[in-house]
Amino acid sequence: MNTKAISKNNGQKLNGFSTEAIGDDHLFTSLETPMKANAFDMSNEEKKSRISILFSEIMDVLGLDLTDDSLSGTPDRVAKMYVEEIFSGLDPQNKPKVALFDNKYQYNQMLVEKNITFYSNCEHHFVPIIGKAHIAYKSSGKVIGLSKLNRIVQYYAKRPQVQERLTNQIANELKTVLETEDVAVIIDAKHLCVSSRGVQDDTSTTVTTYYGGIFNTPEKINEIQNYINN
């Protein structure tokens, strides 16, 4: 959906929902990150230049003095941060390259990588989501470098997100890379769109889970939870 369509529908109905309610009620419309067909027609340098101009306009509308020494460089800093850092996961060129290795140790039990810290941004308000991801998988004959698990989480987190989608995107990528359905993903995160605005609840967190293959049983779910909680 393009920017004009979002602006035009503000406060109206979109697929039966108020466009405002879609964000406030934590609804989302796609398991894939919504992207325009021409999303990569502009170079990163062109995107940064354009974002800087547009963010200057936002600051100007808010009444900020862009001639002040502290604020004059802010539009460029925000543009660089958006393109090169916090939304770098939108660019498929930044997708981590993953190599698999033969499971020469013949380790045939679950492997759990827990407490993978990530920072994402809510696609409804563009404020941070801060959390930890826990990943488990059982080898299908191949294994992956541990750091690549972290990189996969970071890649999908570094884009405007909804936690449910983030959970599924990580799980689907792991299933594809590892060539197995035996994958589990648990995410526990704090949403600043809840804690810093709206209801302003600073104590709650959101947990989402994906259990595939052998992990989708009460016994394995309890086993994973024990590993995570200990």
Enumerate residues 6+ apart whose C-beta is below 8 A from 164.
Answer: 28, 208
Catalytic status, residue 161: no
- Active-site choice (123, 154, 161, 173): 123
Catalytic status, residue 223: no
Catalytic status, residue 32: no
Residues facing 121 on adjacent strands: 128, 160
Catalytic status, residue 124: yes
41, with CB counted inside 10 A (0-12, 13-18, 19+), is: exposed
Beta strand extents in the chain (DSSP E only): 13-14, 17-18, 100-102, 110-122, 128-138, 142-144, 160-161, 183-191, 206-211
DSSP letter, residue 206: E
- Active-site choice (154, 161, 163, 169): 163
- Active-site choice (84, 125, 164, 223): 125
- Active-site choice (124, 134, 154, 161): 124
Q: Which residue has the tokens 């340098």?
A: 45
How many other C-beta atoms are found inside a 10 Å radius of the C-beta of residue 117? 12
Amino acid identity of residue 127, one-letter, is V
Catalytic status, residue 134: no
Q: Check the CA dihedral 151-23-6-64 and report its sign.
A: negative
Catalytic status, residue 164: no
Catalytic status, residue 191: yes
Q: Is 125 annotated as a binding residue?
A: yes
Question: Which residue positions form the known binding site for Zn(2+)?
Answer: 122, 125, 193
Provide the annotated active-site residues: 122-125, 163, 191, 193
Question: Which residue positions form the known binding site?
Answer: 122, 125, 193
